[in-house]
Structure 1
Amino acid sequence: MEMEDIQISQMESASIFKKTNLPVTLKFENVVYKIKPKTEGMLNNSSNSEEEKIILKGITGLGGRGEMLAMLGPSGSGKTTLLTGLGGRLSGRLDGNITYNGKPFKNSMKRYTGFVTQDDVLYPHLTVTETLVFTALLRLPKTLSHIEKIAHAEGVISQLGLTKCKDSIIGGPLLRGVSGGERKRVSIGQEMLINPSLLFLDEPTSGLDSTTAQKIVSTLWDLVNGGKTIVMTIHQPSSRLFYMFHKVLLLSEGNPLYFGRGEDVMGYFSRIGYSPLVAMNPSDFLLDLANGIVDDPQEDQASIKQTLVSAFKNNLLDGVKEELRKYDDSQVHDKLQKGKFNQWANSWWKQSAVLFRRGMKERKHDSFSVLKVGQVIAVSILCALLWWRSSEIQDQIGLLFFYSQFWSFYPLFQAIFTFPQERMMLEKERSSGMYRLSSYFMSRIIVDLPMELVLPSVFVIITYWTTGLKPFALNFFSTLFTLLFSVLVSQGLGLALGALVMDQKSATVLGSVIMLSFTLVGGYFVHHVPIFISWIKYISVCQYTFKLLVGAQFQAGETYTCGINATCYVQDSPAIKAVGLGDTAISIVALAIMLVAYRFLAYLALVRIGVTKK
């Protein structure tokens, strides 16, 4: 994909942003969220296991057009749960009335809604421009041309003040990239690309210094002035940030303690008997109240919280409900629903093509890292030295068995981490309706093909011609293609295990046990496998690969030196006899079935764990 700089004027950029800009008013009334705690062990009381824990206890409020609503509260107060529920991304039992311009949430609302998670889930090796351009190509509708989508991304970069770092990589824990504030602005920019009328942000200033946090909120303030509705959670903002919020919702253990204008909050708590003895940051004071901490140490924290909850119900709740009833959003809602809704912005082929290009740019750094390339080269040289010009049939068979084992284990353990590592990215992008799961999966499989096949090809080229194997083109290519076939099958098994378990440590242990089982029944270590366990060899990648590798080097009727002035047929060698020289077609068909079946199993596992479109 071309990443050329496209110069657009501020007027052109603004015109792009106005294409889908419609006001959205968010209302939520008496929102309650319950979950069933997970029980551990078999001795738990059955009645207790049925009890539900109430996370949100009747939250009411609203966010109007051109307003910034901040939800404050200590850790565990329910801020993120409420934000996720309002954003239509919360699974489980959510009761209450949540409306967007007077109507419940539907998939059609996603084109007007952006959601920025607390953690910046970004690809570390992509630049700022590449990150936003790829997002634009996936999320913006097909009615816009390729050039217009890139121009749109450039406009967001300019609007967020990311021009200086546009060509810098995002970076990660072990890779130096842009700063934390710039990463956060990139995350916000990904959502701004669709020009959302309603933007949710979970802790956008978390981990940032006060100056950087100020820049982030100032950016959001500019969006609010443009008519957007912004709802965010924030833990402990500075006083300068606090007074930028139009409305504040204070939570404590799932209960609302205050909802109203930020500038009125201190006056309200003073009227009900709670005011700080000294001047202090309003957010610090509110967090103390939400934790039940006041200047009088004799007062019980639980009773303070209950008093504040009762005060909210008696003094503020009726006014909040009256404010909700004032809004008439029917006409705006009709505009939102006008026209036929297509849940996908782009076709399956377009999604796959963009994901393929993005995957190539990101995955090449991991697949061809110095460590991995060095590992394969070192093992290749070691094999060349150990089997240098070997003419002993037993040594050659040992080399072929090592081929089958190393290139079964290596690709499996490379692939086993794929989906666990990308789960957060996949869930983030899928929840926003960016692409189909099948598009992602197919592009991921195709991206890995050339990268997974380069290193084993280099390995065979180095070792084959130095270890005494038959120096003929037919034998060489038979060996090479067999090994590459095995690599793809083992990679599919690794993808399936990773998708099924979705935990790197557990998947590694399971993969080790499976591959060791395949190795032991592969026909090299044990020639006479007991019948009650011999069935494993019929599903063993190693066994079929070893059989094909042996068949690529030896033919029935060939002889070898088996003693002083004695020759034997290769098919009578104990190591070859255990696997046999026939049934090549059966081995090829078996590996082909595994190649397809493992990948299909991986896809089904991704569907099962819920990374489908919500």
Structure 2
Amino acid sequence: MHSDKIESKPVRGSIFPPNTDQGVYLAATDISYQITNGVFEQSTARILSGIKFFAEPKTMTAILGPSGSGKTSLLNILSGRLSSTGNKLVGGSIYLNGKKVTSKDLKSRCSYVMQNEITIPYLTIQETLLYSAELRLPFLSAKERREKVRILLNDLGLVHCMHSIVGDDKVRSISGGERKRVILGTELISDPQVLFIDEPTSGLDAFMAFQILQLLIKLAKTGRTIICTIHQPRTQVFQAFDEILLLSRGEMVYLGPSKSSVDYFSLIGYPVPENYNPTDYYLDLLVPRSSMDKFADNRLHSITYEQLRVLPELYLSSEYNDRVIRKIDEHLNRQYSQIPELLLFSRTSHTCCGWIRKKLHAFSVVTKRSFMNNARNTLGSLVFGILVNAFIAVVIGSIFFNLPSFSNDADESFLRAANIMGALFFSVMTATFGAMIALESFARFRIIFSRERAKGLYGPATYILGKHVGDFIFEIVPIMIFSHIFYFMSNTNSVSYPDWSILTQYLCYQLTILLTSWASYGLIYFICGITKSLELAYGIAPLIIIFFVIVSGFYVTVNKLPSWISWVKYISFQRYSYSALAVNTFPANNIWGLIKTDDLLKQFSIDQTSFLFNVLILFILGIAYRIFACFAFTLFYRNLGLE
């Protein structure tokens, strides 16, 4: 359990107090967004064009439109999560309380709730909110954070289930509505004045959807500015919004009061039928007839592409467009007080010591969170790994069972040594491929990293180190079980040397397997960093590992490798693992039966005869892989899971 367990007792305070501040007004002018595709023959896809937007405190604004109309793209731009990068070009200006702001400013003053937010499944609701508070509010004491979480649990109606795990699509626990409230709570912990929400009612039944809307209405009444995307809301949901923005193919069709939309569409010749959900009618209207001819007769009202193109022009000449322009002009000319920041940013220290403390604090939270998730999933994360590795050890150990040591015949001794080297090689391979189990877990949680990084909570190094330390016991124990069983079944180290006892050989064998696993996990982190899908990671990881194995010296003599590929042997951790185990079994400058161990090592292409050197390089490679993983996460994961 989390050490800061919250007791059930009367709650003082609320996340819904009347807001005496002016709140935050958001305005946007001439927002455009286009993507350029192709290398030799480039083509430009226009996603948004000429968007003017205005939202004010104590209101809820819904962004509506058919699939592909640009709803989520607009929400991402308004919240600062999407800006010009590479082939993506974003234009226009965004203002908060009359001040032009950058993407960084928006992130520091607004919160964003995604449609498919990823949660850590085996944390309880209480722990999820507490860890969120620890990450976002490090300047508060533990007691103050617990009090904020207690208030949140009460106001979100989650007290009755606060000790239930959150779950995910594979681990079932709380209801969809409760999970939505948990995710909303992780953002409300930093007291945002502007809240962006992507599809807040998606996947919920009518009752749950209405509950979420009631919660958002209460939040808006406290002075917050709430902006949502919605896909085909029910009538009750539609009526909950003060303003709606209708998009069609990236252009504005309407922005104004939701109640006035019916009058507007009647005015331009498209009256909403009596007793019909207005949004169903609008979205039906905005899908042109030619794209679904065979269904046209079943639709209440269908229009052609030519008629659809006229709708943005009709809006631009309407009083509702004039109203938006007038509001924006008034907004830009009005004097406002300072824009409130999220609590996370408002008390952030900018000194070197403050920066270090923030990094160390975030590292400790990521570590504790990861450890707790694994500890709760003991059956999946530890017991299963131990059983699988024990089974593999017994199977492979049976094949290499009680390998005989040297004989009085030199040729026979060489053959027996080759068998021992084969057993050592399989030890390396098992430790290497054992890290593959981290692919799914690490690939899944990197989306959490990407989203929390976008909120400024921590960076790649903090995440990778924290995740590794939190997972360390659950990664290492299974492979140590394998190496222990296999070591004694195969009997690879049965000869004692004057300066290298059997106990020393056992400890060095375990150290080598441990460092092999360390390096292997580092490589897996790097592979996760350069691939954006789990399927691609599963495809690339075995290829890279096998390539490293080929140049390790077991299959091909390292000095016989072609010059164009021989450099890879220096970054192949299996080469150093294999060499370390070989040197541990046949220490240099000794005699194994009638054969000099130096001759054996030379026969098996072991050119690095220092055990210490090999394990040191193993450790360094593990660090290097993680450093490259940090760079990969920095370069390739700016927008993963954000769009």
TM-score under structure 1 length normalisation: 0.89
Specify the code of the residue in structure 2 equivalent to 1:595: G
Is contact 1:113–1:199 with CA below 8 Å preserved after alignment?
yes
Determine the structure 1 residue equivalent to 2:609.
582
User: Structure 1's 19 and 447: CA in aligned 2 closer, same or farther, altered over 3 A?
Assistant: farther
Determine the structure 2 residue equivalent to 1:11.
12
Determine the structure 2 residue equivalent to 1:563.
none
User: Structure 1's 530 and 553: CA in aligned 2 closer, same or farther, altered over 3 A?
Assistant: closer
Q: Alpha-carbon deviation of 1:108?
A: 4.6
Determine the structure 1 residue equivalent to 2:459.
436
Q: Alpha-carbon deviation of 1:577?
A: 4.3
Determine the structure 1 residue equivalent to 2:397.
384
Aligned length: 597
Determine the structure 2 residue equivalent to 1:564.
none
Matched residues in 2 for 1:14 and 1:91: separation? 31
Instruction: Map 1:144-159 to 2 at 5 A.
Output: 144-159=140-155
Q: 1:189 aligns with which of 185, 191, 211?
A: 185
Could you give the per-residue CA deviations for residues 300-350 of structure 1, whole angstroms, max 9, x where no partner exists?
A: 522322232222111121122113333478554425389886579971111
Matched residues in 1 for 2:393 and 2:271: separation? 74
Determine the structure 2 residue equivalent to 1:32.
32
Is contact 1:242–1:262 with CA below 8 Å preserved after alignment?
yes
Matched residues in 1 for 2:531 and 2:301: separation? 51
Is contact 2:198–2:230 with CA below 8 Å preserved after alignment?
yes
Instruction: Map 1:530-541 to 2 at 5 A.
Output: 530-532=560-562, 533-541=565-573
Q: Alpha-carbon deviation of 1:397?
A: 2.5
Determine the structure 2 residue equivalent to 1:407.
431
User: Structure 1's 542 and 265: CA in aligned 2 closer, same or farther, altered over 3 A?
Assistant: same
Matched residues in 2 for 1:54 and 1:520: separation? 48
Q: Alpha-carbon deviation of 1:197?
A: 0.8
Q: 1:481 aligns with which of 511, 526, 529?
A: 511
Q: Alpha-carbon deviation of 1:8?
A: 5.9
Is contact 1:381–1:462 with CA below 8 Å preserved after alignment?
yes
Is contact 1:376–1:459 with CA below 8 Å preserved after alignment?
yes
Is contact 2:394–2:486 with CA below 8 Å preserved after alignment?
yes
Unaligned 5+ segments in structure 1 are 561-566
Aligned CA-pair RMSD: 3.0
Matched residues in 1 for 2:138 and 2:146: separation? 13
Determine the structure 2 residue equivalent to 1:2.
3
Q: Alpha-carbon deviation of 1:523?
A: 3.2
Matched residues in 1 for 2:583 and 2:391: separation? 27
Q: Alpha-carbon deviation of 1:85?
A: 0.8
Residue 11 of structure 1 aligns to a residue in which SS? coil
Q: 1:553 aligns with which of 580, 585, 594?
A: 585
Q: Alpha-carbon deviation of 1:297?
A: 8.9
Answer yes or no: is 1:457 the counterpart of 2:480. Answer: yes
Q: 2:71 aligns with which of 79, 82, 88?
A: 79
Instruction: Map 1:15-164 to 2 at 5 A.
Output: 23-36=23-36, 38-39=37-38, 44=41, 49=42, 51-92=43-84, 93-106=89-102, 107-142=104-139, 144-164=140-160
Residue 69 of structure 1 aligns to a residue in which SS? strand
Instruction: Map 1:500-539 to 2 at 5 A.
Output: 500-527=530-557, 530-532=560-562, 533-539=565-571
Q: Alpha-carbon deviation of 1:507?
A: 3.2
Unaligned 5+ segments in structure 2 are 290-295, 406-415, 495-501
Is contact 2:285–2:303 with CA below 8 Å preserved after alignment?
no
Residue 489 of structure 2 aligns to a residue in which SS? coil
Could you give the per-residue CA deviations for residues 207-256 of structure 1, whole angstroms, max 9, x where no partner exists?
A: 21111111111110110111111100101111111111111111111111
Residue 391 of structure 2 aligns to a residue in which SS? helix
Q: Alpha-carbon deviation of 1:189?
A: 0.9
Q: 1:544 aligns with which of 572, 576, 599?
A: 576
Determine the structure 2 residue equivalent to 1:311.
314
Residue 466 of structure 1 aligns to a residue in which SS? helix
Specify the code of the residue in structure 2 equivalent to 1:85: I
Q: Alpha-carbon deviation of 1:496?
A: 1.6
Is contact 1:26–1:101 with CA below 8 Å preserved after alignment?
yes
Q: Alpha-carbon deviation of 1:203?
A: 0.7
Determine the structure 2 residue equivalent to 1:325.
329
Matched residues in 2 for 1:6 and 1:212: separation? 27
Is contact 1:397–1:575 with CA below 8 Å preserved after alignment?
no
Determine the structure 1 residue equivalent to 2:624.
597
Residue 453 of structure 2 aligns to a residue in which SS? helix
Residue 578 of structure 1 aligns to a residue in which SS? coil
Instruction: Map 1:249-268 to 2 at 5 A.
Output: 249-268=245-264
User: Structure 1's 310 and 582: CA in aligned 2 closer, same or farther, altered over 3 A?
Assistant: closer
Answer yes or no: is 1:490 the counterpart of 2:532. Answer: no
Q: Percent identity, please.
A: 28
Matched residues in 2 for 1:425 and 1:70: separation? 26
Matched residues in 2 for 1:131 and 1:433: separation? 18
User: Structure 1's 504 and 61: CA in aligned 2 closer, same or farther, altered over 3 A?
Assistant: closer
Specify the code of the residue in structure 1 equivalent to 2:147: A
User: Structure 1's 518 and 79: CA in aligned 2 closer, same or farther, altered over 3 A?
Assistant: closer
Could you give the per-residue CA deviations for residues 428-477 of structure 1, whole angstroms, max 9, x where no partner exists?
A: 11111122333223312322333322122111222222332446321110
Residue 114 of structure 1 aligns to a residue in which SS? strand
Matched residues in 1 for 2:339 and 2:422: separation? 72
Determine the structure 1 residue equivalent to 2:498.
none
Is contact 1:203–1:232 with CA below 8 Å preserved after alignment?
yes
Specify the code of the residue in structure 2 equivalent to 1:521: V
User: Structure 1's 22 and 149: CA in aligned 2 closer, same or farther, altered over 3 A?
Assistant: farther
Matched residues in 2 for 1:603 and 1:542: separation? 22
Determine the structure 1 residue equivalent to 2:169.
173
Answer yes or no: is 1:205 the counterpart of 2:201. Answer: yes
Instruction: Map 1:208-219 to 2 at 5 A.
Output: 208-219=204-215
Matched residues in 2 for 1:300 and 1:166: separation? 50
Answer yes or no: is 1:606 the counterpart of 2:633. Answer: yes
Could you give the per-residue CA deviations for residues 63-118 of structure 1, whole angstroms, max 9, x where no partner exists?
A: 11100111111111111111111111112232223211111224355443110111
Answer yes or no: is 1:349 the counterpart of 2:360. Answer: yes
Answer yes or no: is 1:361 the counterpart of 2:362. Answer: no
Residue 176 of structure 1 aligns to a residue in which SS? coil
User: Structure 1's 335 and 405: CA in aligned 2 closer, same or farther, altered over 3 A?
Assistant: closer
Deviation larger for 476-485 or 363-372: 363-372
